[in-house]
Amino acid sequence: MTIPAFARTAVDCLALRPDERFLMICDDPLVEAGLAVADAAIARGASALITVLPLAARPLSEPSRGILSAIPETDAVLLWLQRMWTEEVQWRRSIYDLCAETGARIAFGGAMDQGILANEMSADYTSIRERTLAFAAALEPAQSIRVTGRSGTDLTVAVAGRDWKLDDGLVDQPGQFANLPAGEVFIAPLETEANGVLVVDCSLSLGDPDLTMVDEPVHIHFEAGRVVAVEGGRSAAAFRELITQPGADVIAELGIGTNEKARMQGNVMTDEKVLGSIHAAVGYNLGSYGGINDSPVHCDCCVADADVYADGKLLIEKGRLVN
């Protein structure tokens, strides 16, 4: 039996050990991929259970009894979905919360397809981890971060007292949550200390597949941590409507991509990982983000070919650490 690279990578990232119990949750279009990961888990010496979510039952509002009973008996969970609904955000969070309570390690991938399996999930994750760790170590002492981009981005955020988080693909601690595919270092900036303009020239996670790749650059102006103006076309109008929800206009995250095989394609799961890109988000940043702002919204805004300055010094130039 030949196990594909993406499946080996998945069980490696979940640090699956012999005699552990693995749960694969996927939807109908990803059954073959889910079975391949289950095979990789079994080859590792673990036991494996796969749960398939039928599209006819979507969107889901709460986990099924089968999932609720399986997670407490599970050491590691992989949730991969091809079809995504904004109505399922709370459903996913309830699964994450249950894993945190029971100690199950969990990784999530959304809008997954064969291209992601062949590219982002088949990258060299040893290199991704080394690069992510190097970026975080270099950024950690900084009090202020400035990002600039080819389309006019010039945004400064304060990060004093906040920790840089690693999304390097390694999910080896009880109750830990991470994304797969992976490849970024991120932080929750101080919610009242973002100033300047973010020019989104790639994608926005608006929840509308027709508006994910921006129709024209979206200029988002920040003052004292909040969005004060939005300029652009249809994507800008949709973003402007999105941030009318409670807490949605507050700076939430700044992230830097570290996956050399990630592609900018209108899927936040890959776009925010692109080496050389940055992304900023507004809205929710509680929990693993390390912030204090609650909101029903977490909208990522991706910028290509960006430079990162730490306390005024150029540190990362289009994905390359500057000595």
SS (H, E, C) the chain: CCCCHHHHHHHHHCCCCCCCEEEEEEEHHHHHHHHHHHHHHHHCCCEEEEEEECHHHCCCCCCCHHHHHHHHHCCEEEEECCCCCHHHHHHHHHHHHHHHHHCCEEEEECCCCHHHHHCHHHCCHHHHHHHHHHHHHHHCCCCEEEEEECCCCEEEEECCCCCCEEECCCCCCCCCEEECCCCEEEECCCCCCEEEEEEECCEECCCCCCCCECCCCEEEEEECCEEEEEECCHHHHHHHHHCCCCCCCEEEEEEEECECCCCCCCCHHHHCCECCCEEEEEECCCHHHCCCCCCCCEEEEEECCEEEEECCEEEEECCEECC
The percentage of residues in the chain with a pLDDT greater than 70, rounded to a whole number, is: 99
CA distance 145 to 158: 6
- According to DSSP, the residues that pair with 165 across neighbouring strands are 186
Residues 273-285 have pLDDT tens digits of: 999 999 999 999 9
Is residue 238's pLDDT more than 90? yes
Reported as a pLDDT band with limits 50, 70 and 90, residue 137 is very high
CA–CA separation, 190 and 254 (whole Å): 11
pLDDT of residue 36: 97
160 and 139 in contact (C-beta within 8 Å)? no
CATH 3.40.50.2300 fits 5-122, yes or no: no
- Mean pLDDT throughout 172-186? 95
Range of weakest confidence among 64-73, 84-93, 193-202: 84-93
- What pLDDT, on a 0 to 100 scale, did the predictor assign at position 20? 98
pTM: 0.87
The pLDDT of residue 148 is 98
Q: What angle do CA 135, 138, 142 make, to 5 degrees?
A: 120
In angstroms, what CA-CA distances link 153 with 9, 85, 306? 35, 30, 8
Query: What is the CA angle 275-277-283, rounded to 5?
Result: 125
**Cα gap 121→81, rounded to integer Å:** 14
Q: In what order do the strands lie in the sheet with 177-179?
A: 47-53, 21-27, 76-80, 105-109, 177-179
pLDDT confidence of residue 120: 96
Q: What is the per-residue pLDDT for 66? A: 87
Confidence of residue 207 (pLDDT cuts 50, 70, 90): confident
On the question of pLDDT at 143 being above 90, the answer is yes
Sequence ranges of the domains in the chain:
5-122, 125-321
pLDDT bracket for residue 86 (50, 70, 90): confident
Tell me the average pLDDT across 267-272: 89
Beta bridge partners of 298: 283
- Tell whether the model's pLDDT for residue 201 goes beyond 90: yes
pLDDT at res. 114:
95
Residue 323: band (very low, low, confident or very high) from pLDDT cuts 50, 70, 90: confident
If one counts every other C-beta atom within 10 angstroms of the C-beta of residue 2, the result is: 6
Position 162 pLDDT exceeds 90: yes
Per-residue pLDDT reduced to its tens digit, 108-124: 999 899 999 999 999 99
